[in-house]
């Protein structure tokens, strides 16, 4: 299974349109608006890297109103995910806020750092990635202030982390 994260900059005010178009693509497992450096983050999964590249180039980059993208390919060997039961998932989605955190660290430190992130209960998934950053993880907490505190008091305190970028997910009104 191949996985990637795609960060997109969109034309002003077009985030909802771009997200709705992304959600129509089978390989897009998540698509969210964000507060932060990028407008939209999406998680893609497919049977192989070639299929992911094809989806990105022939479907996603053809979506009108996307100005630019950054693709972060996940390593298939260094990752974790805490799969909650359906009741827990409903509670997380209803009462918690979420953020993706991009982490820059030493290239050989990603596996150790992912292990330490996995020990933090607020970090619900993480991947070693290829690209501008070495790790991406998803954090859940009751408020954005709590997420900020988790990042500054827990994640950034992990040794060999050189920097982080936080992409707070905009709650969806469904």
Tell me: the pLDDT tens digits for 22-38? 999 999 999 999 998 99
Are 118 and 139 in a shared domain? yes
- Higher-pLDDT residue of 7 and 36 is 7
Residue 174 lies in a domain: no
Residue 46 lies in a domain: yes
Are 45 and 124 in a shared domain? no
Range of the domain at 13: 2-75
Whether 84 has a pLDDT exceeding 70, the answer reads: no
CB atoms within 10 A of CB 76: 12
Residue 28 lies in a domain: yes
Which CATH number does the domain housing residue 49 bear?
3.30.70.920
Region 142-161: mean pLDDT is 96
Whether 113 has a pLDDT exceeding 80, the answer reads: yes
**What's the predicted TM-score (pTM) here?**
0.90
Are 100 and 144 in a shared domain? yes
Q: Which of 13, 44, 75 is the last residue of a domain?
A: 75
Whether 3 contacts 43, CB under 8 Å: yes
Q: What is the mean pLDDT of the chain?
A: 91
> For residue 174, what pLDDT is reported?
42
C-alpha 162: how far from its chain's center? 19
| Number of domains composing the chain | 2
Are 82 and 19 in a shared domain? no
> For residue 79, what pLDDT is reported?
72
């Amino acid at each position: 299974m191949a996985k990637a994260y795609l960060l997109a900059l969109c034309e002003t005010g077009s985030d909802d349109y771009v997200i709705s178009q992304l959600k129509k693509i089978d390989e897009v497992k998540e698509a969210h608006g964000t507060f932060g450096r990028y407008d939209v983050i999406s998680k893609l999964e497919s049977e192989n890297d070639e299929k992911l590249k094809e989806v990105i180039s022939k479907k996603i980059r053809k979506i009108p109103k996307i100005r630019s993208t950054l693709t972060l390919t996940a390593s298939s060997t260094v990752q974790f995910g805490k799969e909650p039961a359906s009741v827990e998932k409903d509670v997380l989605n209803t009462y918690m806020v979420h953020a993706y955190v991009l982490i820059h660290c030493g290239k050989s430190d990603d596996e150790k750092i992912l292990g330490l992130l996995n020990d933090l209960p607020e970090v619900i998934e993480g991947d070693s990635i290829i690209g501008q950053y070495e790790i991406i993880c998803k954090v859940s907490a009751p408020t954005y202030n709590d997420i900020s505190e988790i990042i500054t008091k827990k994640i950034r305190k992990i040794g060999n982390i050189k920097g982080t970028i936080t992409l707070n997910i905009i709650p969806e009104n469904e």
